[in-house]
C-alpha cells in the first residue's frame, strides 16, 4: 500500500514568517498533499505568500472567520489567490469562536444563517472579483455539516473525535458526494515519551475545553463527565485540575500523540474513514518548526 501523507497546518508566526514559508516549500517538495492555514497570524496573507513560494501543493484557510472582513473583500482576495495559484487554493470559512469575536467587538448572529448569507454574498460578487475557489466550511455539529454539503465544496473539522466522525457522516450522507473535500485538524505530537506528548496536547486542548461550543460537542458524544469536571476546574481557576480531568480516552479520541509508528497508524486511520487528516504539529522539545521537522522525519 502506498504511503499517504497527511495535510499539514502552518501558522504565520510573527518574526518567523519567512521560516514558515521555507517549511511550506519543503512540504511541497516532499509531496505533502495540502497546507492548512489557521487564522492565527493572518491566514489570507500567508496563503498569498504560499501561492508564490510553492508549485504543486494545495492550500486552504482553516478557517478565515466570516466576521473578520466583508464578503466582498474576502472574495476579492480569494479570487486573486485562485487565479495566481492555478486553482490550488480553497477558501475555508467559519464563524470562529466567541472569545475572538468578542475581542473584535463584532455582533454575532445565528451561525448557520450568517454562514449561508456570507457564502451567498461571496458568490454574488463573482461578477466583480472573478471566479472563486472551492469553498470549505467549518463543520462540528450535524446542522453545520449539512450546510457544508448543501452549499460548499468541502468540510473542515477541528479537534473532532475519531469515534464520532464516521457516525456523523452517516447521519449527513450528503457529505459523501463526489468531489466534496473532507479535512480534520488534529493536534499531533510525535515522541517516544508518551506522557510528555499527552501533556503537550492537554495544554493545547484546554483552550478549546474553555469554549462552550466545543464542550457541548464533546459532551454530546459521550464525554460529559470529562467536560463537566474540566469546566468546573476552569471556573475555579485551576487549570492543572482541568487538564487532569481530560481523560486519556478523550485525548486519544481527539488528538494524536506518541511514538512515530503510533502517530503514523492513527493518521492512516483517518484516511480509512474518508477524511484527510491535517496534522497540527507541536513538540515536546521545541516550537512549530521543530514539530514540523519531526513530521518530515516520520515520512522521510
Report CA-CA distances (Å) from 128 to 73, 77, 88, 123, 124: 11, 12, 21, 10, 9
Long-range CB pairs of 143-150, under 8 A, 24+ apart, other chains included: 143/112, 144/111, 144/112, 144/115, 145/169, 145/172, 145/175, 146/172, 146/174, 147/112, 147/115, 147/116, 148/175, 148/180, 149/174, 149/175, 149/177, 149/180, 150/174
Query: Would you say residue 112 has pLDDT above 90?
Result: yes
- For residue 197, what is its C-alpha cell? 506528548
- For residue 156, what is its C-alpha cell? 473542515
Task: State residue 40's pLDDT score.
Answer: 82
How much is the mean pLDDT over the chain?
95
Task: State residue 99's pLDDT score.
Answer: 62
3-state secondary structure of 279: strand
Task: State residue 109's pLDDT score.
Answer: 72
Contact 61, 44 (CB under 8 A): yes
Query: Would you say residue 122 has pLDDT above 80?
Result: yes
DSSP secondary structure letter of residue 153:
S
Query: What's the alpha-carbon Rg for the chain, to the nearest Å?
Result: 19
Query: Would you say residue 171 has pLDDT above 90?
Result: yes
Instruction: Locate all alpha helices (DSSP H) within the chain, ordered by sequence.
Output: 17-30, 43-53, 71-84, 98-104, 111-124, 126-129, 142-151, 165-171, 194-209, 212-218, 224-235, 239-244, 248-254, 260-272, 288-298
pLDDT above 90: percentage of residues in the chain: 90
How confident is residue 253, by pLDDT bands cut at 50, 70 and 90?
A: very high
Domains of the chain: 7-191+256-298 (3.20.20.30)
Query: Would you say residue 106 has pLDDT above 70?
Result: no
Entry pTM: 0.94
Among candidates 208, 206, 187, which has minimal Cα distance to 197? 187
pLDDT digit string (tens) for 206-215?
A: 999 999 999 9
- For residue 236, what is its C-alpha cell? 475555579
Task: State residue 267's pLDDT score.
Answer: 98
Amino acid at each position: 500500500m502506498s504511503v499517504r501523507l497527511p495535510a499539514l497546518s502552518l501558522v504565520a508566526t510573527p518574526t518567523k514568517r519567512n521560516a514558515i514559508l521555507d517549511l511550506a516549500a519543503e512540504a511541497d517538495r516532499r509531496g505533502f498533499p495540502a497546507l492548512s492555514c489557521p487564522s492565527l497570524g493572518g491566514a489570507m496573507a500567508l496563503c498569498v505568500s504560499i501561492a508564490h513560494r510553492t508549485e504543486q501543493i494545495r492550500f486552504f484557510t482553516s478557517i478565515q472567520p466570516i466576521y473578520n472582513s466583508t464578503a466582498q473583500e474576502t472574495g476579492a482576495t480569494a479570487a486573486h489567490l485562485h487565479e495566481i495559484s492555478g486553482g490550488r487554493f480553497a477558501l475555508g470559512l467559519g464563524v470562529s469562536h466567541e472569545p475572538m469575536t468578542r475581542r473584535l467587538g463584532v455582533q454575532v448572529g445565528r451561525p448557520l444563517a450568517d454562514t449561508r448569507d456570507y457564502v451567498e454574498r461571496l458568490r454574488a460578487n463573482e461578477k466583480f472579483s472573478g471566479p472563486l475557489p472551492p469553498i470549505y466550511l467549518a463543520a462540528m455539529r450535524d446542522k453545520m455539516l449539512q450546510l457544508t454539503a448543501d452549499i460548499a465544496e468541502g468540510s473542515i473539522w477541528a479537534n473532532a473525535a475519531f469515534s464520532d466522525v464516521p457516525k456523523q457522516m452517516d447521519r449527513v450522507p450528503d457529505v459523501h458526494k463526489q468531489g466534496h473535500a473532507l479535512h480534520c485538524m488534529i493536534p499531533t505530537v510525535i515522541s517516544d515519551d508518551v506522557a510528555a506528548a499527552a501533556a503537550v496536547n492537554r495544554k493545547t486542548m484546554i483552550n478549546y475545553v474553555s469554549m462552550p461550543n466545543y464542550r457541548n460537542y464533546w459532551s454530546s458524544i459521550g464525554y460529559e463527565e470529562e467536560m463537566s469536571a474540566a469546566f468546573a476546574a476552569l471556573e475555579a481557576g485551576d487549570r492543572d485540575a482541568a487538564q487532569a480531568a481530560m481523560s486519556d480516552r478523550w485525548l486519544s479520541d481527539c488528538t494524536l500523540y506518541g511514538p512515530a509508528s503510533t502517530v503514523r497508524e492513527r493518521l492512516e486511520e483517518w484516511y480509512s474513514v474518508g477524511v484527510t487528516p491535517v496534522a497540527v504539529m507541536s513538540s515536546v522539545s521545541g516550537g512549530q518548526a521543530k514539530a514540523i521537522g519531526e513530521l518530515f522525519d516520520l515520512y522521510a
